[in-house]
Amino acid sequence: MLHAEWPLALFTLLGQAAAGIYLAVVLVREILARRSDAGQAIKATVLPSLVAGGLMIAAAIVSFLHLGSPLGAYRVLLQVGSSWLSREIAATMLFGLLWLGSVVVERRGGAGLLLGRLTALAGVVLVLCMSMIYQSSVIPAWTSAYTMVSFVATTLVLGGLGMLALRPGVEGVLPVAGWMTLAGLVLQLGGLPLYLGQLAQGSAAGRASLTLLMGAWQPQMWSFLVLGSLTAVAAAVVWQRRVQSLRVVYALLLVGLVGEAMARVIFYAIGVPVAVG
């Protein structure tokens, strides 16, 4: 199923990275604002804020590639009342608007933290909507609560590591990045056995997913486990030792990113729908 879904894999990764980085931005600002003032805090986080917005725009563009008939994409908003996909797009747009608003306001020096906080909230809502799309499908590998766990985890890991790579020297970044990354990976790795157990005990489609995971996709699975664990350990070390070497920080981001990408590839690859037979 993966070959058809690669735009979605990319879209969700980009979107979650954007939401995560913006979340990190807001958390760092909260710390900085407590020490100096909001203006300073904002100034210190301009770059990651811009990157987050850029990633979200990229995500939105990629999402078009997933559509068979992209010209009608505007209609995607018509069913916010029932469709998590409509809600997801609505959340994406809300994030975009709030982000644009906050950038403009911040540029003008109208320093307030509120707009940023709202933007971060929209990002979090977006990630939850993304997850709900899959959770409301008929694909047991996706309907599990683990989908939300892992989407949130990816958001935290990519947000934390992204922030770290962009502003390694800024005060507050290390603890925020450290907390986010570790929390994310603990959730993601820790939830895995439960998830696998769930698949094993579930329907035929769930077991088929498990078979794929243990068979054709086992190399990717191991890569994720190794890279994820490595990322967690390395992030802890960087945080505790206050490592500021750019080379180390970039390497950490790369390892973390590849690990999360692996997890996402697996996610789509093992999606076997409930079926007749």
Partner 1 sequence: MGQQLGFYLNQQFCMGCKTCAVACKDKNDMEIGVNLRRLTEVSGGGFAKVGDTYVPEVFAYWIGVSCNHCDHPKCVENCPTGAMHKNPEDGVVSVDQTKCIGCRYCTWSCPYGAPQYSEQRGKTQKCDMCADYRAQGKDPACVTSCPMRAIEWGPIDELKKKHPDAVVAVHGLPDPLMTSPNTIYTSHKSAVSGGRK
Partner 2 sequence: MSEKWSISRRSLLKWSGALAGAAAVGGLGAGGVGPFAPTEANADSEPKVIPTGCSNNCGGRCVIRAHVKEGVITRIESDPDPDSAEQMALRGCLRGRSYRSIVYHPDRLKYPMKRVGKRGEGKFERISWDEATTMIANELKRINEKHGALSIYPHYASGISGPAAGTGFIKRLLGLYAGDYLNYYGTYSSGQTRYATPYTYGTSNSGNHRADWVNSKLIILDGFNPAETVFGTNTMYYLRKAKEAGAKIIVIDPRYTDTALALADEWIPIRPGTDSALIDAMAYTMIKENLHDQAFLDKYCLGFDEEHMPAGTPAGNSYKTYVMGQADGQPKTPEWAQKITGIPANRIKALAREYAMVKPGALIQGFGPQRHANGEQSVRSATLLACMTGNVGRSGGHASGAGYPPSTVTFGGIPVKAGTGKVQISCFIWTDAIVRGAEMTAEKDLIVGAAKLPSNIKLIFNLAGNTLVNQHSDINKTAQILADESLCEFIVTSDIFMSPSAKFSDLVLPGTTTYERDNILTPWGHGEYAIYSNKVIEPMYECREEYDWLSDVAEKLGLKKEFTEGKSLEDWMKFCCEGAAKAHPEFPGFEAFKKAGVFRRKVAAPEIAFAKQIADPEKNKFATPSGKIELFSKALFDRKNPQFVPAVPKYVPAFDGPSDPLVEKYPLQMTGWHYKRRSHSTHDNNPVMTEAGRQEMWINPIDADARGIADGDQVKIFNDRGATLIPAKVTTRIMPGVIAVPQGAWYAPGKDGVDTHGAINILTTQRGSYMSNSNPQHTNLVEVVKA
String marking each residue 44-73 x if it binds partner 2 according to CB under 8 A: ---------------------xx-x-x---
Q: How far is CA 15 from the centre of its chain?
A: 6
Is 84 a residue that touches partner 1 (CB under 8 A)? yes
246 binds, among partner 1, partner 2, none (CB under 5 to 8 A by kind): none
Q: Measured from the CB atom, is 142 or 151 closer to partner 1?
A: 142
> With binding defined as CB under 8 A, does residue 4 bind partner 2?
yes
Task: Say whether residue 2 binds partner 1 (CB under 8 A).
Answer: no
Residues in contact with partner 1, shown as a per-residue x/- string from 175 to 214 under the rule CB under 8 A? ----------------------------------------
Which tokens sit at 164? 């770290």
Which of 54, 44, 39 has its CA nearest to residue 24? Answer: 44
Task: Please state the closest distance from residue 129 (CB atom) to partner 1, in A.
Answer: 11
Give the x-and-dash track for 113-152 against partner 1 (CB under 8 A).
Answer: --------------------xx-xxxx--x----------
Toward partner 2, which CB reaches closer, 13 or 187?
Answer: 13
CB 95 within 8 A of CB 109: no
Report the alpha-carbon distance of residue 177 to residue 35 in Å, rounded. 18
Cβ–Cβ under 8 Å, residues 231 and 157: yes
247: partner contacted, choices partner 2, partner 1, none (Cβ within 5-8 A by kind): none
Q: Which helix (H) or strand (E) holds 210?
A: helix 204-214
Q: Does 215 bind partner 2 (CB under 8 A)?
A: no
**Residue 149 one-letter amino acid:** V
Q: Please, are residues 101 and 115 in contact by the beta-carbon 8 Å criterion?
A: yes
Which of these segments, 3-11, 21-29, 168-176, 248-256, binds partner 2 (CB under 8 A)? 3-11
> Is the backbone of residue 2 left (phi > 0), alpha (psi -120 to 50) or beta?
alpha
Separation between Cα atoms, residue 154 and residue 259, nearest integer Å: 10
* Residues of this chain that bind partner 2 (CB under 8 A): 3-4, 6-7, 65-66, 68, 70
